[in-house]
Amino acid sequence: MAEPRAEAEDLDALIDDLDYLPGHFHLEMQLNFEPRSPALLRARDLKLQLDGLRQELELAAGRQRLAVRHLLGTFAFYLEKLDEARERFLGVAAEDPGNLNAWANLAHVYERLGQEDEEEACAGRLAGLMGLAADPEVSADPQLLAARCLAEQGYAHGFDVGCASPEERARVLAAGITLYDKALSYGQQIPMEEKRGWYFTMATLFIRLDGIFLELGSEEQKRLPAFNRTLALLRQVLKSSDPHHRALAWCYLGILLERKDTFSTTPMGVHDCGYSGTDPLDCFGKAIEIAKDQPPILNRLAKIFHFLGKQDMAIGTCNMALDVLRDPELNWQAYCTRAKIHVRAYLHDLERVKIGLGGMPDRNHLACAKADLEEVVKVCPGLKTYLDMGQVYYYMGVDAVQELLAVDESALNEALVFLAKASESELGATLPELQLLRGKCLRIKGEEANAVACFKRAVELDDAGSSHTEGFGCLLEALLAQWSQAQLNDSELGHEVDVWLRRAQSKYPAARLRQELQRVWRGHTDEVLGLARALVAQGRLALVRLFFETMEQDSSGHSPSEGGEGPAHS
């Protein structure tokens, strides 16, 4: 036994000298770190990301499909579906026998399964491919294998889960870009079309990273080098033969050209790449033109336009996709996205009404969204469709001014029915937005105690670092309503507010929590003052101080921005 042990020690020493290590389970992603969230919430986040990856697989082409399949196996592993993980990695190894990540990942799975012989066989195969064994395989260039290994690892960093702050997300995206750069240094022999696929993913990571820098208010000098490089990468992607990459590259170019105005001076990359006179709208138009007869690409573009707030463009793109393929069973994404656009338009107008701007929102948006979702429910019912239907019926059932009065009791009941169906799914009971929506329905129906239970559950299910504080605000409002109706006494109210405010402080960013408290204060001034008197009487002075600090900031004009970005997991 001494000889194999010595060989293993020699192999470990060789691996220590490498500047890359195959496999996905050692990467510095939150996915691989000790979970900070409860097991239930981590499983929820993994499954939601898994759904997104399955959609990625539908659009991926060439070797990028292997990168997606590696992630499907990795997520299956962390969901304790070890047989599925093994089959995923075996499938990659069968299709691409020289795939370093496949053999490293298989070795990791076999180790967990306790199958030592299979683990050693995979490790031996990996060592041979990397030129580390006594009889290395010479069927492929080790540099080429290393480059593809690193590119697959870089791709994975765009799908991490568990990041609790923008700074963490930025670090993960930057690490992915670094891996791609290392892949390019190894991959001199990589075919140009394959490299363009790498450039596309790098540009995607760079654009997301720049979005985080904008969110954090980073200095433009920190953003500028990456911004210029992204333009150069997209210029190369525009030469791709893949219509998906080419269409999205034009779309991304439009996004960057719109962002150039966030710099004090036009970035030199705009001029260097020949885009000095290019209009962003022309870029979006070229993206749509390339995708005009391909519904999957049109649907991806529509989602991006929707995210960017370009709702007219998004709905037009959805309509194009449906003109090409109207069957909801084959093109349900277009119906779902168009429904979301209508709901977003209605909510935008509703928020304006709440602050005294604009006229009544157009309820025809809700009718259109309902019609689209009914088409989807017929052919592929599921969690997200049920949740979206519940949301539409909720807004059909409440007033279009302050969401305080029931205008259609049957619509509210329909909302609760669809939310109950959503709760039956594996993930339904773990979504905070479902609990929030159910609580709002029950509050309108006068079931305050049931509503409070839902809002508490919504807060419990929110991720640490989440900016979606509406559930907590609704909980405060419902508790105040119970107190004003004598369903809670002063002591019970003080205890509830103390417990849940402390929980909220440990979960939400301080600035966002302050904004939610300001909203409750402005809408329920008398009740909040009554609450403050009750808290003083109970000696909960720190709580009172927090409330009055919030009121002071609100009265000094530092009011929060209205509206929100929608559910965290929609």
**Nearest to residue 143, comparing CAs of 185, 97, 87, 176?**
185
> Could you read off the pLDDT tens digit of each residue along the chain, which spans 570 residues?
445 454 445 545 555 567 899 999 999 999 999 888 888 999 999 999 999 999 899 888 889 999 999 999 999 999 999 999 999 999 999 999 999 999 999 999 999 999 999 999 999 999 989 887 666 665 678 899 999 999 999 999 999 998 888 999 999 999 999 999 999 999 989 999 999 999 999 999 999 999 999 999 999 999 999 999 999 999 999 999 999 999 999 999 999 999 999 999 999 999 999 999 999 999 999 999 999 999 999 999 999 999 999 999 999 999 999 999 999 999 999 999 999 999 999 999 998 888 888 888 999 999 999 999 999 999 999 999 999 999 999 999 999 888 889 999 999 999 999 999 999 988 999 999 999 999 999 999 999 999 999 999 999 999 888 889 999 999 999 999 999 999 999 889 888 988 999 899 988 988 899 889 888 888 888 888 888 888 888 888 877 787 777 666 555 444 333 333 333 343
Strand partners, 398: 406
What is the tens place of the pLDDT at every residue in 339-367? 999 999 999 999 888 888 888 899 999 99
Q: Name the pTM for this structure.
A: 0.89
Interior angle at CA 272, CA 270 and CA 274, nearest 5: 70
**238, 246 Cβ separation under 8 angstroms:** yes
**Nearest to residue 462, comparing CAs of 517, 500, 499?**
500
Question: What's the rounded Cα separation, in Å, for the pair 75 and 25?
Answer: 10
Question: What's the rounded Cα separation, in Å, for the pair 129 and 166?
Answer: 38
**131, 11 Cβ separation under 8 angstroms:** no
What is the C-alpha R_g of the chain? Answer: 27
Q: For residue 371, with 0-12 CB atoms within 10 Å meaning exposed, 13-18 middle and 19 or more buried, which class applies?
A: middle
What is the tens place of the pLDDT at every residue in 79-132? 999 999 999 999 999 999 999 999 999 999 999 999 999 999 999 999 989 887
**Nearest to residue 341, comparing CAs of 313, 374, 378?**
313
